[in-house]
């Protein structure tokens, strides 16, 4: 039986480890913040003396934003580091022992944040959607709340994001299969925060629908990934013309969705419905 193509295991390991990702991007001349790894058992006061502020403390393994905390001074750094230590002590099987014992400290990047989703197709990046995160993710925590599609970023910025993510994915060795890239764009340019060798999580992905050759039935994100896994080229598929969005309205996993004529209209409706949910939900 022929082997199904996919991302090389070594590339997946680089993509899931924030330190390995930072090192690979740095060595490929992509923009990265200053960073250093540390033991979770280190003295946070001593670490604070080594950091410039503002900075970010985070676990090494994928955490969907959990445990990623901003520190603006030595006091908030010590508090953030101790909170991360407590979280890692109770972490589940998603991380190995080495990842539980380590953390990453890096410079905070101010700017617009985006998600780029798509597939690597035999080594070439194929983007499905560039997603705006309109809510300011300035800390102290960085969990996602709102996605809106299509992006309202200027076209030159969108091309810069595509170029940076393509270079980042190639530097990690990603070859074939889904990817999800997180980016921030500052006045210096595009910072690729990470390229996960995995799909967008289902509650967020439900806002995405696609059409072949601009006509015919719409299909969901997971259906398109399944077609790609079975050998179909993604080249003829495009996101639907209608704008869409999703907003997380509760810590327990409640989401609301909207579609409309424009990204602005979708965002406005989601924010209005979120107010109603908070009052009467």
Q: What is the mean pLDDT of each run of 10 residues along the chain (281 residues)?
A: 80 96 98 97 97 96 81 98 91 60 96 98 97 95 95 98 98 98 97 97 97 93 97 96 96 91 98 87 61
Q: How many CB atoms lie within 10 A of CB 255?
A: 15
From CA 67, how far away is CA 87, in angstroms rounded?
7
Burial bucket for residue 130 (CB in 10 Å: 0-12, 13-18, 19+): buried
Mapped onto helix, strand or coil, the DSSP state of residue 100 is helix
pLDDT of residue 52: 98
Tokens 């102290």 correspond to 140
pLDDT of residue 1: 45
pLDDT of residue 89: 85
pLDDT of residue 281: 61
pLDDT of residue 274: 93
Go through the domains of the chain in sequence order and give each one's CATH number.
Answer: 34-107 (3.30.1490.20), 112-280 (3.30.470.20)
pLDDT of residue 250: 87
Q: How many CB atoms lie within 10 A of CB 119?
A: 23
For 41-79, b where at least 16 C-beta lie within 10 A, e where not — what string? eeebeebbeebeebbbbbbbbbbeeebbbbbeeeebbbe
CA 201 from centre of chain? 10
The helices-and-strands tally (H runs, E runs) of the chain is: 9, 14
pTM of the model: 0.94
């Amino acid at each position: 039986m022929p082997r199904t193509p996919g991302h090389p295991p070594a590339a997946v390991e680089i993509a899931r480890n924030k330190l390995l990702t930072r090192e690979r991007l740095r060595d490929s001349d992509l923009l990265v913040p200053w960073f250093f790894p540390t033991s979770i058992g280190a003295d946070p006061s001593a670490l604070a003396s080594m950091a410039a502020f503002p900075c970010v403390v985070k676990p090494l393994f994928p955490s969907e934003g959990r445990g990623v905390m901003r520190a603006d001074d030595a006091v908030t750094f010590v508090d953030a580091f101790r909170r991360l230590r407590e979280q890692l002590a109770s972490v589940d099987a998603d991380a190995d022992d080495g990842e539980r014992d380590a953390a990453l400290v890096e410079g905070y990047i101010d700017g617009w944040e985006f998600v780029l989703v798509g597939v690597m197709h035999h080594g070439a990046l194929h983007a499905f959607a560039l997603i705006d995160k309109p809510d300011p993710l300035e800390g102290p925590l960085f969990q996602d709340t709102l996605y809106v599609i299509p992006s309202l970023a200027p076209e030159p910025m969108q091309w810069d994001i595509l170029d940076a993510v393509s270079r980042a994915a190639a530097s990690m060795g990603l070859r074939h299969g889904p990817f999800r890239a997180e980016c921030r764009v500052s006045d210096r340019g595009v910072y690729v925060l990470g390229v996960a060798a995995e799909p967008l999580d289902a509650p967020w992905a439900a806002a995405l629908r696609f059409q072949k050759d601009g006509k015919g039935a719409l299909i969901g994100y997971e259906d398109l990934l399944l077609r790609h896994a079975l050998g179909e080229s993604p080249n003829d598929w495009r996101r639907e013309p209608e704008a869409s969005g999703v907003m997380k309205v509760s810590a327990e996993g409640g989401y609301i969705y909207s579609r409309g004529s424009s990204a602005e209209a979708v965002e406005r409706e989601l924010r209005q419905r979120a107010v109603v949910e908070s009052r009467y939900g």
